[in-house]
Each structure stands twice: as structure tokens, then as C-alpha cells.
Structure 1
Amino acid sequence: MKFRLMLLPLALAACSQTPPDHADGAPAATASTSVPAPAPAPASSAPAAAFDTATLAKYHWRLTEATGGDGKRIDALFVRPDHPLQLDFVRDRLSVGNACNRLGGNFSVQGNRLKLGQMAQTMMACADPALSALDSAISQRLQGQPKIQLKDEGNAPTLSLAGDNGDTLVFTGDPTAETRYGGAGETVFLEVAPETKPCSHPLIPNKQCLQVRERKYGANGVVESSGEWQPLYQDIEGYTHEPGVRNVLRVKRFAVKHPPADAPSTAYVLDMVAESAIAPQKK
């Protein structure tokens, strides 16, 4: 009887031992062993690429195509064939040129949508009813939050605006003066005399030059000084002179990098006509 009591603790100890390992060193599997499933790969959380608004500011965007949801050309947007509708994006503001009036408003690009704030416009009256209707025609399509797409495939870049009603407008980019000359330029005011005068030009016989002088204004908008009249041996980009009309122009003056030997080192680009008056006839 005493012998049997001594064996009982040994038997209990043998039952509690860990199962032996396999010969290859791996632990033996038991019925209670569970292998955890691999964690799923995390979903990509990379943000969508921001729209390239910097490229918008580098070009004048001129309307070249416009089709409706029926696939037909929207003729109402092409009433000025020689001066197509033009969009300009400067910082956070969009302006529309070559309509009846000048239109503009603050803009943003959210996702793939162009969002435009309340638009303001000048109050010019246009005799042509089709031209008057152009303001409303382009304004409605811009304020409808169209989908915006920018493509730059080597030639001229294109900007597409697609409305939810199926209208699609395509604009082609023309580099701004700042893009072409590589800088912001200097804003100056030039008074242009009513009449041109003969001037000596090495490459253009019988050249007629604009007579200009620079104006400087004070903080109150009053003219502080005017320079001496002098011939301008080059054109002002965007300006067409009408004989007998005196103009004050706000222009951008750019330094031309590496100009040819026979070309000017400065370029003038019209920003706006600040004043215009018909000169009195000489008796």
C-alpha cells in the first residue's frame, strides 16, 4: 500500500510534461495550437495630385472649340472670330476677355471642378445683340462648376472645361509675356502722341516712329512728372496706333535676354489703355 502511494505523484508529473519536439527542431502541433492570419495590407492613403494652377497662370487661354451635348458647335461663343474668348488666371482670379464686357471673379480648383465666385463685369453696351449675349453665354458655363482638365503634350497646351449638360469648351494656351521674357516686368505709363514722325532705323527704310514720353503718378493718382518726347523705335505688343488719337498706355517693360545684334534689348507689352482722346485739328 505504501508503494502505490509513492508512484502516484510520479505519474501525475509525467502527464504534465511538454510534448517532445520533432526531430527537425520544430515544436509539435497540438489540437489547441492556432496560427494567426496575416494582417491585411493597409489601403493606399496617398492624396490625389493637386491641380496644376501654376500652369494656368503662364498662358492666355483662347477658345478654339466649343461643342454642346448634341455634338454641334456652340456658335454663340464664336461671335468674334478675330478676337476669340480669352481666359486669364492671375493668382486666385479669373478674367474673361474679348466678350462684350470684361468679366472676372475669384476661382479655385477643387478636385476636378473649376469653382468660380460671383462674377463682376464692366457695364459697356454693345450694339450687336449677339455680342451682348456673349457675356451671359460664357458666364453661365463658367459658373456651372465645369470639370477642368489640362493637357500639355509638347505643342500648345490645352484646357478643357466640361459641363454637366454635355457642353465642352477647349482653350489653347498662348504664353504670356511674363512666360516669354522670364520675369514679371516693370509697369510704366507711356503717353503716346497723336502723330508719328519719321525716324532713322537701320533695317526699315522710311520708318515712322511713335512719339512717347513716360508719365509718373503720385499716390493720389495725379501726374507728378512727364519725361521728354522721344521716338520709340519698336512696336508695343498689343497696341495699334490710330492717327490723331492721343493715348496714355499702361505697359509692361521687359528686359530681353540675349537679343540679336539688330534687335532692341527691351520689349513693351500693352497692359491697358488708361486714357484716350482725339487731338484737336490743327488750323
Structure 2
Amino acid sequence: MKPRWTWCLPLIASLTLAACGTTEGGGTRKAGPSGPAGDAKTLTAYHWKLQQAFTPAGGEDQTWFLTPGSGKAPLELDFVEQRVVVKNLCNVMSSGYSIEGQRINMQRAMSTLRACNDNQLMQLEQKVSRILPQAKQWAVQLGVGQEAPRLTLQFIDGTKWQLDGTPTSDTKYGSAPERIFLEVAPQRVACSHGVIKDYQCLKVREIRYGDNGVKTFTGQWENFYSEIEGYKHEPGVGNVLRINRYKLQNVPADASSYAYVLDMVVESAIEKGKK
């Protein structure tokens, strides 16, 4: 017996792709956000994490997720400089994309070539690589209040993904960052942090590079009283970090004027005598 579909016709007409019905195929779509539709700029303003996937017949499809309890985060998409970057696979995958109204076109995916011992993760990576060029339509529904925005992607074969958005750092802080490099010493050091007793600061120094990648400046070591979003320090390991630094507005007198967000780890070195 073929699945019987119940459709919300005005929603189809507007090509929002957000589900407003159920199917006998077993897939029940989660209630979507209640805000207006987003435009193409909305794609670049959020990190998009996969929440639900549906087969061409409309049934919920768990094959796009790893086994519960694996500790692996769901697929995440970032739309950056006309490329969509897929995270939380074995390799980082990316594809060029273009938008024409509610249509989306993705090119053949490229990725790093790291081998992975997790067969399930590698199979998922291959599956994602095959479907990306089949992307057909997109729609974003913005949230109201605490609701997360939702991106719906539909592929040529009828597969659908629903992804919830969290703001990128540029969106969160309301401006473009300044790019800096910080070298972080292998060990934290005791420092005075006012209200936090026995605080351990990172010890850092600024590094600058020329256009040719050659180091042109190395600053003095100093205590770093802030934290770096996305960076988890491992004692005994020194790192050179590429940082996005955001200027903050209306900060208290005793607080940092900047937010520091990790962009990438450039170099790592294990402290001598530490293994």
C-alpha cells in the first residue's frame, strides 16, 4: 500500500518546504519555528545542525545519524563564502553552492583525505558526498523569541533534511572580527582574577606573519585573563592559534573589551618531558 500524504497546500505554494502534515510512512515532523521566512543571507548567519531526515516516501530516516551513544555530534553545515562546509564527519567536506530563489545548486563535494577507523562514520561520509550535488530546494523559517531557526533542504530524489540553526560568531557579536595569532604556552599559570579564587590563566604571546607566511613578530609572554571560545587547553601542549577577535560593546569596567573565538590550530608542540 502506498503511503497516503496529508499536505498543507499554502506551504507548498510558498516553497517553504517546512512540514505541516504527517505521513503513514512513519515520519512525524517536529513543530517548526513560528517566525517569517529567511533570505539567502540567513544561510551564512547560522551553524546548521541536522535534527531530522526523511526518506523520499516521507518516513523518518535515521541512517543520516550515527548510532545513539556513539558520542558523535550530528552533521553540521556552514555556508561560508559560497561554499557549504560539512562538519562532524571523519573528514571536513565542502562544496561550492549557488542560490536562485528557492533553488540551491551544490557542486561535487571535496574533502580532506584522513583515514578513519570508524566504518559507520566513513559510510555516512560517503553517503553525504553522494547526496550533496543532488540538493534541489531550500527554505529557512526564522524563530521567534527563543525558537531556533530551521533550514529545510530537499534533494532531487525526495530526501529531506531539517536542520536547526545557532548563530555564528559574526551574528552573535554583530560585527566582523579582527584576525590575530596567539601562541599558548603548555601550562596555565596562577593569576589574580578578582572574584575567581585560585584562577589559572593561559599564558600567551602574540605572533604576526607576513603575506608570505614567514613569522615577522613575536610578542612578550603575558597572562591571558579571558577564555577562547572553542579552545580546550591540554596541559603540556603548546599551540599557535588563529583567533577571531570581536570588539564588544557596553562591557563592565572590569571585563574584557573583546571576545576571542578559535578559528584554527596552526601549530602544536608537546612540552619536553611531557608525554
TM range, smaller chain? 0.7 to 0.9
Report the Cα distance in structure 1 between the residues aligned to 2:72 and 2:200, rounded to whole angstroms: 26
Q: 1:84 to 1:261 in 2, by over 3 A?
A: farther
Q: In the alignment, does 2:45 pair up with 1:58?
A: yes
Q: Which runs of structure 2 are paired with 1:78-97 in the superposition (5 Å)?
A: 78=66, 81-97=71-87
Q: Is contact 1:248-1:274 (8 Å) kept?
A: yes
Residue 108 of structure 1 pairs with residue 93 of structure 2:
no
2:230 aligned with 1:242: no
For 2:119 and 2:166, the matched residues in 1 are separated by 29
- Looking at structure 2, the residues matched to 269 and 243 of structure 1 have their Cα atoms a distance apart, in angstroms, of 20
Give the paired residue count: 234
Q: Aligned-pair distance for 1:60?
A: 0.9
Q: Structure 1 residue 267 and structure 2 residue 259: aligned? A: yes
Question: Structure 2 counterpart of 1:130, which letter?
Answer: Q
Q: Which residue of 2 aligns with 1:150?
A: 140
- Asked if the contact 1:246/1:277 (under 8 Å) is kept, the reply is yes
Residue identity opposite 1:202 in structure 2: G
1:28-75 C-alpha deviation (Å, 9 max, x unpaired)? xxxxxxxxxxxxxxxxxxxx9x98211111111111212323513323
Deviates more, 1:242-251 or 1:76-85: 76-85
RMSD: 2.1
Partners of 1:211 and 1:232 within 8 A in 2: yes
Aligned to 2:61: 73
Aligned-pair CA distance for 1:262: 4.2
Q: Give the corresponding residue for 2:224.
A: 232
* Contact 2:151/2:165, CA 8 A, preserved across alignment: yes
Please state how far the C-alpha of 1:113 moved relative to its aligned partner: 2.5
Match for residue 173 of structure 1? 165
**2:161 match: secondary structure:** strand
Q: TM-score, normalised by structure 1?
A: 0.77
Structure 2 residue identity aligned to 1:65: Q
Are the counterparts in 2 of residues 100 and 126 from structure 1 also a CA contact under 8 Å? yes
Deviates more, 1:264-273 or 1:111-120: 111-120
Quote the Cα distance in structure 2 between the aligned partners of 1:195 and 1:146. Answer: 50
**Secondary structure of the structure 2 residue equivalent to 1:143:** helix
Q: Which has the higher contact order (CA 8 A, sep 6+)?
A: 2
Residue 183 of structure 2 corresponds to residue 191 of structure 1? yes
> Matches of 2:174 and 2:246 in 1, distance apart?
9
* Structure 1, unpaired ranges of 5+: 1-47
Contact 1:77 1:137 in 2 (8 A): no
Counterpart-to-counterpart distance in 2, 1:115 and 1:93:
11
Note closer, same or farther for the CA distance 1:94–1:238 as it changes in structure 2 (3 Å cut). same
Structure 1 residues 91 and 220: CA distance shift in structure 2, 3 A: closer
Structure 2 distance, partners of 1:77, 1:138, is 11
CA distance in 2: counterparts of 1:231 and 1:212, whole angstroms: 6
Mean CA deviation greater in 66-75 or 200-209: 66-75
Give the corresponding residue for 1:209. 201
Distance 1:72 1:182 in 2: 36
Structure 2 runs not aligned, ≥5 long: 1-14, 16-36
Q: Find the aligned partners of 2:74 and 2:92 in 1 and give their Cα distance.
A: 13
| Structure-2 separation of matches of 1:170 and 1:61 | 9
Percent of aligned pairs with the same residue?
43
Whole-angstrom distance in 2 between the partners of 1:51 and 1:114: 14
Q: How far apart in 1 are the matches of 2:224 and 2:176?
A: 22
CA contact (8 A) 1:51 1:111 kept: no
* Aligned residues of 2:53 and 2:64 also touching (Cα < 8 A): no
TM (normalized to structure 2)?
0.79
Contact 2:108-2:132 at 8 Å conserved across structures: no
Give the structure with higher Rg (CA).
1
Map of 2:243 onto structure 1: 251
